[in-house]
Amino acid sequence: YPVNPNADEILGLKAYPSVSSIPEPVDVVVVSVPAPKVPKVIEDAGKAGAKFAVIIASGFKEVGNVELEKRVVETARRYGMRVLGPNIFGYVYTPSRINATFGPRDVIPGGVAFITQSGALGIALMGTTIMEGIGVSAIISIGNKADLDDADFLEFFEKDPNTNIVLIYLEGISDGRRFVEVASKVTLQKPIVVIKSGRTEAGARAAASHTGSLAGNIAFYETAFKQSGILFAKSVEEAFDWVKALTWNPLPKGDRIVVITNGGGAGVQASDTLADNGFLLQRPSETLVEEIKKFVPPFASLANPIDITGMAPTEWYYRSVYAALKDPGVDSVVVLYCHTALTHPVEVAEEIIRAVKDVGGLTKPLTVALIGGVEAYEGIKKLTETRIPAYPTPERAAAAMAAIHRYVKYREYVRKRLSYLGKERS
């Protein structure tokens, strides 16, 4: 229902002069009026029985109007109403087909809930989810957090069957203890990836002049994230890479990662990245080696990375990926393809997709890198369309796989820590 005291019709819909004049019960009110008028609208919405106010308007705490913001929250509380915002670009919840933002309208439904404290960057990243083919359950522009904050939404997403991973762009937290407690519970169920802006002193100063939120000591955040099992991304690219791998993949049963490549150099880069993240490649299982020996040339290296050589036709990708996904001695698979003159990346992508289909879907985690020019990007698009996480460099594919394995390790740590705390209390 559009509400506007000066219009009878908006976009072909009948407009109402106030929320309370709407003939039906109202659940959510999206408020986009100048800041000084917000308290009156909230009052009216409260009377109309609305339960949830989404305040897009800015001009509150972020410009020094602390009192006005307080008044809005107090008014809402009087009517038992919760407030998202103010100073936000809105929110999305795809299961209810709601997109109350001024960002892109064509977000893809999926399992990722994205909470962002930054407006412009948040809207831009909404666009990135679409381009990267990442489906979202929710996008929450959280703004000044006058009432609801990250922990509140985490509690919701923990139970939300439509969400399987939470991504947070965070500038500051006011109640650190509660955040850690809630996040620790959530990460037992679902991964959380956080981009903490203002990691450095310089960044923290920039953040302070941005939303006025204190970025705080990064050591505190690092400890808090570790204790709650949160994956800490330093860049938006890293965060999106990891999210793609985590939302589309199942979790691995162990740390036996196998890297398959047609280029030794790409394999070395992936090994370096995995080692940077604490994961060492072990010798692949004998059965897998035997299987791959059947078709590769004698000079192929069958250690890990498994180098099926630069002469590999697309079919070898099918066979090696199929064999690795089938093999019970393999927990997860990183596939690398360097574009050479022999094969087309799209065909390699198709063979990988066929292998995944033939083993019955992604029964263990898989990430892919197709390295090259525009043709490689076509292949990446093909893979991501079928929800196989694919990247343009070996390091990004390896880092995304490392994130999955790190999450499993973190979760184990949190589980132990919580059980220890539980024992201590009893």
- Neighbouring C-beta atoms of residue 372, cutoff 10 Å: 17
DSSP assignment, residue 81?
-
Q: Is 392 in the site for a second copy (CB under 8 A)?
A: yes
Residue 285: CB minimum distance to a second copy, A: 18
169 near a second copy, judged by CB under 8 A: yes
Return the residues of window 256-285 that contact a second copy according to CB under 8 A: 262-269, 271-276, 280-281
301 binds a second copy (CB under 8 A): yes
Interface with a second copy, residue 197, by CB under 8 A: yes
Q: Which of 1, 52, 295, 377 binds a second copy (CB under 8 A)?
A: 377
Beta strands in 135-252 (DSSP E): 136-141, 165-170, 192-196, 231-233
Nearer to a second copy, 5 or 373 (CB): 373
The Cα 122–Cα 250 span in angstroms is 27
Taking residue 160's Cβ as centre, other Cβ atoms within 10 Å add up to 18
Among 205, 253, 293, 409, binds a second copy (CB under 8 A): 205
Rule CB under 8 A: choose which of 48, 121, 188, 214 binds a second copy. Answer: 121
Residues 12-71 that bind a second copy (CB under 8 A): 63
Q: Which residue lies nearer to a second copy by CB, 241 or 350?
A: 241
User: Are residues 406 and 398 in contact, defined by beta-carbon separation less than 8 angstroms?
Assistant: no
> Among 49, 176, 203, 329, which residue sits at the site for a second copy (rule: CB under 8 A)?
203
Contact (CB, 8 A) for 397 and 391: yes
For residues 322-352, one letter each, b for 16 or more C-beta atoms within 10 angstroms of the residue's C-beta and e for the rest, the string is bbbbbbeebbbbbbbbbbeeebbbbbbbbbb
Place of tokens 């979202």: 136
Total interface residues for a second copy by CB under 8 A: 79
State which of positions 122-141 bind a second copy (CB under 8 A): 122-128, 130-131
Q: CB-wise, 321 or 414, nearer to a second copy?
A: 321
Residue window 311-340: x/- pattern of binding to a second copy, with contact defined by CB under 8 A: ---------------------------xxx
**Least Cβ distance, residue 312 to a second copy (angstroms):** 9
Across 67-121, the runs of DSSP E, i.e. the strands, are 82-84, 90-93, 98-101, 109-116
How many angstroms separate the CA atoms of 284 and 261, rounded?
14
98-117 binders of a second copy (CB under 8 A) = 102-104, 116-117
